[in-house]
Structure formats: structure tokens, C-alpha cells
Structure 1
Amino acid sequence: MKIIYTAILLLIAQIALSQIPKGHYEGALTRDGSVQLISFDFDTDKTTYDIPEIGYMDVATERISQSKDTLNVKIFYGDFYCFLDSKTGDITGISKDINPKIRIHLKKTVAKEKSFSEEEIKFTNADVSLAGVLFKPIKSEKPIPYVILIHRSGWEDRNTPWYHSLAYSLASKGIGVLLYDKRGTGKSTGNFSSADFNVLANDAVSAFNYIKERKDLNYTKIGFLGASQGGWITPLAANKVSNCGFAILIVGPAVSLYEQDINRVQYTLTDEGYSKQSIDSALHYSALFFKYIQSNNTKDWEALKTYASKIKDKKWIDNLDIPQSQTGDDILWWRKNRYDPKEALNNIKCPVLSILGEKDVLVPPAENKIKMETYLKNAGVDYKIVTIKNCGHDMITKGELNGTDWNWPYTYWQWQRQPQEFFNSIFEFINK
């Protein structure tokens, strides 16, 4: 009987250890003395974390599990092994793969109350049902602006860290936000990979109309904010509605899709240190690729295949689009999206904010800023173009040593960060 009783106690203890902690914890990440603040809200259903310096707010952990006395957590910086001190309640941890190691130390504290509510919503575009979240500031007695976030390429839904964090930050500052799951992701129906830019713009227009139809929302104006591919789609959406309040383009290209991809190849290979000969070879392939895309000519296809065979063993081949057939999905996508934003930007009627990243290899300022300014001048609208220093396409700086060797305190790790200028530019422009 005593053996059975002891076994039950051990089982209860093991179950207790296997449970994920609950509550709000605040602390820091450290790497050889350098510090970056972090906080967690642990729960059995969903655990989120904030790293304010990189603009991450209320982001769901990529993975979290408890195994005996070890809490395994995956966040922006990778996998961490963490441990809960039963005496103090502190959580301490260490990175799995990064060296020098990133350490984490968290203490339980009282959570701050959100200054906004989140409402699950649904609206439609033709036969597609779009689901999302409406972020509604609570203490807003006066009418407030609302912004609709338009997605980048690929899978993007309400939990995508970059967009969810931006929505959270804007709502915390008293701006209403509509963040929907892109068609075919989250709780939305449809298929984003088969939709062209006009269809995606119509999804955003449906979100605009949804806000206008809500009699309980006290808004001053409604605008759009799109990043990367969303920066192409935003002007299209703005031109499809009446009384658009503003359009914000985050690393939104002013060049065509074809030009942008050629820029991507050139600047990426340059950034990775390849020789001029290698870059010229890659650009020659890209020229052949787009020549075939536009001509759909068998002769051009054969020329493309021949050159692809010639460069197939090059280290930089993964940066190129190598089609497997004349009518593959990638070929059809490029033909469907032969888009140039010139017309949409030339004809836009609302104020525009364009934000570029100085170190962006996908939408390099050198190739986009002058065109953007030219088109917006032609449109005759109020506009502002901002280039954020040291930022790439994700609007976050690169993490690096401020020297050549680890030598604290003289040389230390500079954490990745999102410059305050980025968020301030958006917030001030919407409220202007």
C-alpha cells in the first residue's frame, strides 16, 4: 500500500513539473553582458512574448513544451532550455544553438492592462469569407483613425509576428486596426497563391467597406498600410475606394515586379560578397528568364534551359527562379502578375507615406526612391518618403559586435532592434 501511495505522489509531482507556468514574467536576454528586455505571458492555451526593442509585441511562441523539469521555448532568437526555480519562482534559460550563449532570466510580476479590446470579425469579397481581428482602443472618447493592414507575400494571418506586433503597438497608441487573415490562411477561405494583385486589393477594399458599415465605430478616417508585396497592393486598394484617408507603403516597391526581382538578385549577391562575374552571370540568366515569361516563345525557353544548365553548379543558383517546365506554377504566376505600380502611384488621391530600409536588398532605395518621389509628385498629393538607417527589408537592424573580438566591456554585442523612427513615422503620419 505504501509503495502504491509513493508511486501516486511521484506521478502527481511529475505531472506538476510537466505543466507550463502561468502568469506574466519580465526580465532580460543577455549575451556576454549585453542586455535586451523581454517579457512573457505564460498560459496553457497560448504563450506570448514581447521584445519591444525589435518591435515584437504580444507575439505567440513558435513552440513551447514542458518535459520533466525543462521548459522548451522557441522565440525570435531560436530555441531555449528554461528552468523554473520552485523557491524563488524565477525562470532562467539558455539558448540551444547560438554561441556565445544567450541567457534569459525572468521574474513573475503583475501584467499591465491592455488599452484596447480585440474583436473577432468576418466579412466577404465575392464568394470568399475573410476573418480577422478588430483592435479597438478602449479609452477613445473622440473619433479615431482606423488602418487596414495589407499582407506581404506568402502565408500571412493575424498571428504573423510583424503585423500582429504593429497592430498591437498602433492600438496601444489609440489607433484602430483591422488585421485580417489573408485569403487561404487562418480562418479565411480562398487561395492567395492563385489570386492576382487586383483580387488581393479587393479583399482590402472589402475590409474598408466593413469598417464604413459599422455604425458603432467612431472613426475620423480609414487608410491602408501594406509592407513589401502589400506596398504594391496598397495603392491599388486606395484607388478603388472613395475618401481613402491615407496610404502607407513599408518597403513598398516603386518598380515593376520584373525589375524588383532583378534588383533582388543583384543586391543580394553583392551583399553576400560574390564577384562581378558571378553577379553578371546571374543577371544574364534573369534577363533570359523574363524574356521567356513575356514572349512564351519556344526559342526563348530553349535559350533559358541551356543557360540554366550551364550555371547549375554555381553556389548562387538558389537565388534564381529555375522553372521545371514551360507551364509550371511559377511561370504562370509571373505571367499573371505582370504588374508595374507606376499608374496606381501616379493616380493616387490620398496622402502617402513611403518607408524604405537603407540596407534593404529586396527593395533597394537607390532603385526605388527617385521613382516613388516622381510618381507621387505627378499625383499631386501630400507625401513623405523616409529611409530608415541600417535597416533591411524587415525594418530591423542587424545584430553584430561593435568590434572584432568579444572583449567586454570594450567590445559588446549590439542586439537587433527596430529604430524608434520607424514606428514614430507611421504613428505621426496617421495622426497628422
Structure 2
Amino acid sequence: MTKIIKSITIILCIVITSLVIYGVYKNTFNINLKEVTIKTSKNELHGIVSMPENTDKKPGLVIFIHGDGPADASYQEGYYSAWEVLNKNGFATLSWDKPGIGKSSGDWLNQSMEDRVKETKEAIHWAKNNLDIDESKIGVWGASQGGWVLPKVMNEEKLVSFGIAVSPAINWMQQGEYNTVASMKKEGKTKKEIDRKLKQRNEINKLLEEEDVEKAYNKYQEMEKNKGNISLSRWTFIRTNMNVDATEEFKKINKRLYLIVGGQDINVDVDNTIEGYSKNVNSKLLDIKKLPNADHSMVLKEYIDMGVGRMILAILNPRVVIDPGYLEKLQEISKTEKLR
């Protein structure tokens, strides 16, 4: 019995050690990260630059524009696989902690989309003056909410030569309603429950339009019996940005724009997004890629609601979670733009 226990212990040790070695190997991304400080007119932002190594030419640059929420520079390392692909194909990347997150000053909830546009443009000029890059090959990558920032930056900033829009919405109000309905359907809610939620949502939207912000917010909390999950800061942020729509900016775009969406997205109505981009962006400049098995974050559908086994695999090898078609598309884009 002692020999059997000893043998099992040895086998378990070998298996655990092998898993640890495998996990360390697969979690190691071939990227060279450098922390930087970006001083803008409003804040001091903590940023991360990922620079290609051993290149005979100056690299291009892709600026990353976050979606909604309190995002740090690497999106909790969620950008690493994209940065790795871009670095391998001749592009450096620049991203930063949102204002008030990590080491950045300010408060992202005080920002309008116009503020985010200005911040991005200032970061581009910081990069031009502080990084050893090819200024003729600067692109902007924007995800989700960043999709409202990206087209305006493309139109206003001459240094930008192309854009990559990942899972962007077009109209804030339409996107919010779609997300509400799609999420509830996924949870198995009845039509009656969904209709009730939409009615409540419409009542909240009316309150958001009232001039007296604090008074309207108090009404919201009364309506929710003081259990409303929207903070006053978030309320103000929504109120500031709820009427944004990117359609008019699309019509002005005169640079190459790559649109990437996922067929499993319940945050954004991707068919509506594809239609809006196709109707309003010059077809000669637009490239659309729909990945049927990817969700809003480009995660493969089998990992969206993952069990314990898949979760362990995802931790050991985070690359398997991301749709390979997304990374292949980034590789194609970077190779194309590098040759221009």
C-alpha cells in the first residue's frame, strides 16, 4: 500500500509540475512592455508601450481605445495576444489606464466622448514626440464604446492613417436596449418580463433627460426603493453621453477602416453595426470581418460560459480563449498597413 501511495504521489507531482511549466510557457507572451507617463491637458496618464524587438525599420503604432468601464492599460492583460500579433508584424502599441484607474489621475466617469477623443489625439502627439516610430503608419484600435471615439479621431487627426473597430455600436440608446433584451433572452426571461424591464428602462431614460441631475437621480432611487445599482457618478456619465451616434462621422471618413464583429455578441447588435457602417462608410475604404463564433470581447463561444475544466485551460493557456480568426485578421491588417 505504501508503495502504491508513493507511486501515486510521484505521478501527481509530475502532472502538477508539467501543468505549471505548461501554464508558465503558454502565459508568456512575446512582448516587450514599457511603462510611460502621458501628460495631457487634463490628466497625467499611466501608459504601457509594447515595442517590437530586433526590427530593421521603425515600427508603426496602434493606439488602443478602451470600451466602457474602469479599464487599466492592458485590460487586465486581455490585450496581450493582440499586442503580440501586432508587434510581430511591425507595429508598436500604446494604451493607458483610464483616468482615475491604476496610476492615472482624473476620473473616467467625468468624461464625455468628446473628452475621450481629445485625450486620444493628445496621446497620439505624445507618441509622435516620444517614441521612435514611423509617423506615416499610425492606426487607432477602438473596442465597444471606443467605437464612438475612433471615427472622430480618424476624421480629426491627420497623423492617423487607418482604424480598427472591434465590436462597436453606432447609437448609444439603441445599443443599450439591444443589450437589455439579448441578455434577458439568454437568461430565459419571458416576453412579459422583458417588456416590464423595457418600460422601466424608458422611465429611467426620461429621468436622465431632466435638467436637475440630483433631483432626477433621487427619483430614480425612489423608483428602485433605494436599491438602484447606478451610482450618481455613473448616472452623470450616462446622461452626458446617452445621445451619441457615430453615423455622421462615418460619412466623413477618408481613411481605411477595418470592422471586426462577433456573431455571439449580446452587447451590440452586430447586424445593425454592419448595416450602419456599410451604408455610411465609403465601400472602397471599408473592410468587414464577422466571426460567427466570437463574442463581444472576441472570446470563442465555448469559453463564454465556461465550466471549471475550460476555466483552468483558459488560465493555463489564455491564447485558446480568443477567436483565432480575430488574431489572424489583426495579422492581415498589420501586414497590409506595413506595406503601404
TM-score range, shorter chain: 0.7 to 0.9
Which digits, 9 at most, give the CA deviation of each residue in 1:341-393, with x for residues without a partner?
Answer: 1222222232111111111111122332211221213xx66011211112211
Which digits, 9 at most, give the CA deviation of each residue in 1:122-150, with x for residues without a partner?
Answer: 22111411221222212221343210111
Alignment: residue pair count: 311
Q: Which residue identity does 2:16 align to in structure 1?
A: T
Q: Which residue identity does 1:203 align to in structure 2?
A: E
* 2:184 is the alignment partner of 1:280: no
CA–CA distance in 1 between the matches of 2:327 and 2:166?
Answer: 11
Alignment-derived partner of residue 289 in structure 1? 204
Between 1 and 2, higher relative CO (CA 8 Å, sep ≥ 6) is seen in 2
* 2:78 is the alignment partner of 1:162: yes
Q: Once the 2 structures are TM-superposed, how far is the Cα of residue 113 of structure 1 from its aligned partner?
A: 9.8
Q: Once the 2 structures are TM-superposed, how far is the Cα of residue 183 of structure 1 from its aligned partner?
A: 1.8
Q: Which residue identity does 2:257 align to in structure 1?
A: V
Q: Once the 2 structures are TM-superposed, how far is the Cα of residue 329 of structure 1 from its aligned partner?
A: 2.9
CA–CA distance in 2 between the matches of 1:150 and 1:108?
Answer: 29
Alignment-derived partner of residue 211 in structure 1? 127
Alignment-derived partner of residue 391 in structure 1? 294
Q: Which residue identity does 2:172 align to in structure 1?
A: L
* 2:51 is the alignment partner of 1:136: yes
SS in structure 2 of the partner of residue 126 of structure 1: coil
CA–CA distance in 1 between the matches of 2:298 and 2:131?
Answer: 36
* Partner residue of 1:427 out of 297, 307, 331: 331
CA–CA distance in 2 between the matches of 1:131 and 1:219?
Answer: 22
SS in structure 1 of the partner of residue 102 of structure 2: coil
* 2:9 is the alignment partner of 1:106: no
Residues 394 and 297 (structure 1 numbering): CA distance in 2 closer, same or farther, change over 3 Å? same
Alignment-derived partner of residue 122 in structure 1? 37
Q: Structure 1, unaligned stretches of length 5 or more?
A: 1-84, 94-102, 313-317, 401-414
Which digits, 9 at most, give the CA deviation of each residue in 1:253-297, with x for residues without a partner?
Answer: 12x212111111011111111111111111122122212322458
Q: Once the 2 structures are TM-superposed, how far is the Cα of residue 169 of structure 1 from its aligned partner?
A: 3.2
Q: Once the 2 structures are TM-superposed, how far is the Cα of residue 305 of structure 1 from its aligned partner?
A: 7.6
Does the aligned pair in 1 maintain the 2:97–2:104 contact within 8 Å?
yes
Q: Once the 2 structures are TM-superposed, how far is the Cα of residue 114 of structure 1 from its aligned partner?
A: 7.5
SS in structure 1 of the partner of residue 281 of structure 2: helix
Alignment-derived partner of residue 238 in structure 2? 334
Does the aligned pair in 2 maintain the 1:264–1:361 contact within 8 Å?
yes
CA–CA distance in 2 between the matches of 1:158 and 1:426?
Answer: 19
TM-score normalized by the length of structure 1 = 0.63
Greater fraction helix: 2
Alignment-derived partner of residue 16 in structure 2? 92
% identity of equivalent residues? 21
Larger radius of gyration: 1
Greater fraction strand: 1
Q: Structure 2, unaligned stretches of length 5 or more?
A: 1-8, 304-317
